[in-house]
Chains A and B, each alone.
Chain A
Amino acid sequence: MTTTRRAAVLGGNRIPFARQFGPYAEASNQDMLTAALEGLVARHGIAGERLGEVVAGAVIKHSRDFNLTREAVLGSSLAPDTPAYDVQQACGTGLEAAILVANKIALGQADSGIAGGVDSASDAPIVVPEKLRRKLLRLSRAKTPADRARAALTMRPTDLGIQVPANTEPRTGMSMGEHMAVTAERWGVTREAQDQLALASHHHLAAAYERGFFDDLMTPYLGLSRDQNLRADTTLEKLASLRTVFGRGENATMTAGNSTPLTDGASAVLLGSEDWAAAHGLKPLAWFVDGETAAVDYVSGDEGLLMAPAYAVPRMLARQGLALQDFDLYEIHEAFASTVLSTLTAWEDEDFCRERLGLDAPLGAIDRDKLNITGSSLAAGHPFAATGGRILATLAKLLQEKGSGSRGLVSICAAGGQGVVAILEAA
């Protein structure tokens, strides 16, 4: 393949995001991903179609879901000969899946595809302690009754217990919030600024619902037709009254109000070539221009856990010959309000941009009126792998509303010190 072509974002669908142990408590990842696919298929009238591929994933996954996306495709109205595979890059999963699909389309290896993601914080895989697991495996290997008895006798009451997956970095033992608290303090992000951002997220999301913005981006699921976490009537006073949950002492600024809650949900985005779109009567919303991933060394403490997008964006901008200000819209995933604010502050910081990014001048400030204008994860919630699809579909539609040529930047931080970013341009 010597030439490339443009890959288009054609539309999206997600189910409303539910709070942990809420209405989706009994729904599996496969159930939710299938629901997201079904809504997408119905919206675009592609029941029975064979697509190039469906790529999706979940961050917290049961071992039985080894073929999660393929199983969801088989349970959907797509043609059963549509191939699928799983990817997993923590919270970057959804956007990474879209980069993969877009690249195949650009290279002519596929004409169409769906990128998605799903996560359940409720229907979590429960694991037994490592010691007990080994003993159970030994028991299942035992061939004679005597062997079996011997294996069983090695088990001790103290072996019992269950482990639920935790939002903890294995190499530091610190939770993501604790990591973020360190970064927030490093960049001097104030409690007020975080609460302001959280407030804007809720109000923007509520306003978008009010104007019917999500009518063609969402399909209700299990009785929920709006994101359950949304607090349309929240105020700065309410947010200010919450006690801090991450960080220590006087410098603690992070609360349940300016951090994303654990959430269940799924999203899916339809991508295709121009020809495939035309053949199916679909109008491209936006072109998938570019994507970039980065990782930082957070283990040694050299950089903050969620700061990788700060590195990925300038690399992508340099490649595209763009300045940070050359965008009409910015979608910066609100893992925590302080994540967004630390990233923006870093880009304005001369030392950081020179020493860390190797730039002559700071990237500079962005027009905050262009940031997350229909809300983001603080209000909507953040089912890890589903966030990329939520943001992509939202941004593609917003850009189409703005008009041809308008440009949007996506930035998503991920566990493991990683970040995935992308550029869309209105078709």
Chain B
Amino acid sequence: MARSDGYTSFVNSGVGAKLATALGLPRPVPLRRHSPGAPLVDGPVLVGGHADTPAVAALRAGLTSAGATLTEVVPETGRLGGVVVDLTAAETPADLESLRATLAPALKRLGRCARVVVVGRDPRAASSVAQRAARRALEGITRSVAKELRNGATANLVLVDDGSEGAALGTVVFLLSARSAYVDGQVVRVGKGDDVAAPADPERPLDGKVAVVTGAARGIGADIARTLVRDGATVVCVDIPAAGAHLAAVANEVGGTAMQVDVTAADAGARILEHARTRHGGLDVVVHNAGITRDKLLANTDAERWASVLDVNLRSILAMNDTLLAKDGLRDGGRVVLVSSIAGIAGNRGQSSYAASKAGVIGLVDGYSTDRALSRRGITVNAVAPGFIETEMTAKVPLATREMGRRLNSLAQGGLPVDVAETIAYFAADEQSAVSGNVVRVCGQSLLGA
């Protein structure tokens, strides 16, 4: 659901635009968001980089079949839809000049909500110190470019394993697409993996999948359900019994099923699995989205308040996963997506318990994604970390605080629940079999914790 904030509308009106320019105020633009049938990017995509590598060849082929028009030079007229720069062959800091040389002229010709995607290799796998420095430099460049960009454009970095370029295609396509509208200044690691066939129907990458979404009655959870269903999945919507009325409305809207279960109940995992099995024949995707806040300064937080947040946001996931990730649980090739928060990365005054739980979620990602038994079954585990998202919850935040949250990011606006949902759907697709252990912030490159 598009929800525009008043300021963004104002500075995009005639008078507002003039005023904002004169005063040097931030000028957020309405972001390009996914609508079925729309092209991948608005305008040609410049593909370049350092040397002719297997990565760039794989990207060219993949992007062409994804429907992008490619170019090797900045066109004389018109605007670029995106730039993909391959630096996988960078050996020393001197090689970074290739990145500058490709990007600098292109940045001046980027269209509205254009995309910059830098492709590199993981510094931790470098064979020399110079190579490691060059690889690590890409992150600094990408994050700076993301801050330099205007008009809703974003820049992100993809780290690809040698020989696994094909497995990274889905990630590059996601970052070019409108689905990644509010993902900015991020690094996504793609591990070892074979080439993955693109989905038969690119509009329905989750066709035939059965997904469970907790906390689905409203806000971000409801949009996760909607987005997964749009992408072809059958969704089991879970929320606490007290949220049943909203939950039923969401489930009926998306043609899924509603399960009134408190995720902290001892048998929650077993009930969810049983439901998915009997109703839909199995379970492929689990989105642990249910979460609560009980904000208070730590000095004033009692044990009960503390425990309630950790129980719902962290311990319930561990307990449910004991069942959901057991051998007879999630099917092979399953996907687990967790919801962290920038509060879990940056910390937030008055949110010690929430930050504890959301940082803990990052720990869960690290732990599960290195679990060999899960990898052998092809199960990936990732998280999104939303920044300031326009929901009923943030609408209640006092105006000044709310405006700070909204503007203190490179896109100068809050994200929408659907932006978080899109990243979750990206993680959930079969194509992302080599994407595990990532925490991708959906925050418009918020300054918090960056």
Contacts and interface: CB of A to CB of B under 8 A. Distances in A.
Interface of A: 35, 38-39, 41-45, 47-48, 77, 212, 214-216, 218-221, 225, 281-283
Given A42-B248, A212-B265, A283 B260 contact: no
B276 to A, nearest CB: 10
B281 A42 contact: no
Contacts of A43: 248, 257-260
Given A219-B260, A281-B279, A281-B281, A47 B244 contact: no
A38 B241 CA distance: 15
13 contacts: A41-B252, A42-B237, A43-B258, A45-B251, A45-B279, A47-B251, A214-B241, A215-B261, A216-B259, A219-B244, A219-B247, A220-B243, A282-B278
A328 B259 CA distance: 28
Given A225-B242, A281-B279, A281-B281, A219 B256 contact: no
A57 B281 CA distance: 36
A29 B281 CA distance: 37
Contacts of A39: 244-245, 248, 258
B256 A45 contact: yes
Given A220-B244, A225-B241, A281 B255 contact: no
B248 A281 contact: no
Contacts of B251: 42, 45, 47
A22 B392 CA distance: 27
A47 B255 CA distance: 5
B297 interface: no
B280 interface: yes
A220 B252 contact: no
B257 A219 contact: no
How many chain B residues sit at the interface, stated as a range, is 20 to 34
A218 B252 contact: no
B255 A219 contact: no
B73 interface: no
Nearest to A44: B257
Nearest to A209: B241
B228 to A, nearest CB: 15
Interface string B223-249: 000000000000001000111110111
B241 A215 contact: yes
A42 B261 contact: no
A77 B244 contact: no
Contacts of A281: 278-281
Given A220-B245, A282-B278, 13 more contacts: A38-B248, A38-B252, A39-B244, A42-B249, A43-B248, A212-B241, A215-B261, A216-B260, A218-B241, A218-B260, A219-B248, A281-B278, A281-B281
A283 B278 contact: yes
Nearest to A281: B279
A45 B249 contact: no
Contact of B279 (A42, A77, A282): A282
Interface string B264-296: 010000000000001111000000000000000
Q: Which of A41, A42, A281 has most chain B Cβ within 10 Å? A: A42
A282 B245 CA distance: 22
A8 B245 CA distance: 26
B245 A35 contact: yes
A53 B334 CA distance: 39
A119 B237 CA distance: 29
Contacts of B262: 212, 215
Contacts of A214: 241
Nearest to B242: A225
Nearest to B281: A281
Q: Which of A77, A212, A220, A225 has most chain B Cβ within 10 Å? A: A220
Those 9 A-B pairs whose CB atoms lie nearest each other, nearest first = A45-B257, A42-B248, A42-B258, A77-B252, A42-B251, A281-B279, A219-B244, A47-B252, A220-B244
A45 B281 CA distance: 14
A221 B248 CA distance: 11
A341 B249 CA distance: 42
Contacts of A212: 241, 262, 265
Q: Which of A44, A48, A216, A218 has most chain B Cβ within 10 Å? A: A216
A42 B257 contact: yes
Contacts of B243: 220
Given A43-B257, A282-B279, A221 B252 contact: no
